[in-house]
Amino acid sequence: METTRNGQAKEEAAAARDGSICGYESLDRLLRDNLSPQVFQEVSRLLIGLNCGRTLEAVPLADSAKALSSECNFDVQAFHFTADKELLREPRVVRVGLIQNSIVLPTTASFVDQKRAIHQKVKPMIDAAGASGVNILCLQEAWMMPFAFCTREKRWCEFAEPVDGESTRFLQDLAKKYNMVIVNPILERDVNHGETIWNTAVIIGNHGNIIGKHRKNHIPRVGDFNESTYYMEGNTGHPVFETAYGKIAVNICYGRHHPLNWLAFGLNGAEIVFNPSATVGELSEPMWPIEARNAAIANSYFVGSINRIGTETFPNPFTSGDGKPQHADFGHFYGSSHFSAPDASCTPSLSRHRDGLLISDMDLNLCRQLKDKWGFRMTSRYELYADMLAQYLKPDFEPQVISDPLLHKKSS
């Protein structure tokens, strides 16, 4: 289990020996070592795209951020998405950050100590984001706890907090200190509605105020990810939050598999959509570099994809309803957090095994420029889709299938 620096070092060494190419980061390293510079450049163009026709630029990091990274053993990388210069609009450059991390203590430790240790671990990473001038920061799904929903044990509900609970208050102070908007994905306890549990993202404004919240729209029922034992589908729609730095939305974890979910945030005017997640390699890793990038392209907005890291082991073994033996963990959370842009470019990802802060400058003018270029909104046929969906929802729905009459003709 990746719960100590010692364990993390062992896991990173194993990853280096394996030469994994699942994440952008390790794939980039493999290609650089084995291809000529000219071939690498062409492969890179196809894999991570070009931003306005150019290779994505790295951004120099503040010395204080690099010092925190070294002292607290987390990676930090920074890049810059540009947009074409316009005659009537000034650039709208926003600096955005993503944090991925493992838990700290064994899941057998007291819940109070586990949560406190995660807070203490994440704080220097937020400090590094603040020192780097990050305007909007997003943490991973249910960042303040182990992702225990695989166990189906209800005692993990004790980690749930009100929207204005301990973790929110912890981040409110940092948001105010750094003039930073923070997306705070928590396990929510709705004290006003029968203590109901939700998977929620709380949006904290740059003055430390709570702007609003969004609850996870799509709940997985896939093997160990049967999260409806704890919470059901959200009831907040597809809100877009207008902040001091731009219009943002949060498509929590499993919602990334639903194209209409991405679409709805775009229709409501999102310029940046965050996808805080907790997903393991065996289940979803081949899909990870694709889905968010597709969403950014199709909806002409930026996407920030965040995934936790590590292998979390639980006290009591559990089964997955697949006939396989019981087990105490449900795989390695592979990190690989990254940004995708509406012009099909994306950043390299963070590590599969190491805590990290990914920073990107992004000119939000690029969103409208790509809408003008490709005309996806203009050429969409929403009236046809709406009619199709209305028909599909009826109990007597009949699929529009036209069969070849010869398929059913009796042979003479």
Active-site amino acid positions: 141, 216, 253
Distance, in Å, from the CA atom of 269 to the CA atom of 243, rounded to the nearest integer, reads 13
Quote the tokens at residue 306: 């965040």
Tell me the Ramachandran region of residue 105: left when phi exceeds 0, alpha when psi lies from -120 to 50, beta otherwise: beta
From 137, 67, 134, select the one nearest 101 (Cα to Cα).
Answer: 137
From 340, 337, 339, select the one nearest 351 (Cα to Cα).
Answer: 337
From 292, 209, 277, 203, select the one nearest 240 (Cα to Cα).
Answer: 203
Q: What is the CA radius of gyration of the chain?
A: 22
Quote the tokens at residue 192: 């006003």
Quote the tokens at residue 346: 């994306």
From 96, 58, 98, 106, select the one nearest 74 (Cα to Cα).
Answer: 98
Contact yes or no for 303/277 (Cβ under 8 A): no
Quote the tokens at residue 51: 């931003």
The C-alpha angle with vertex 398 and arms to 394 and 402, in degrees rounded to 5, equals 155
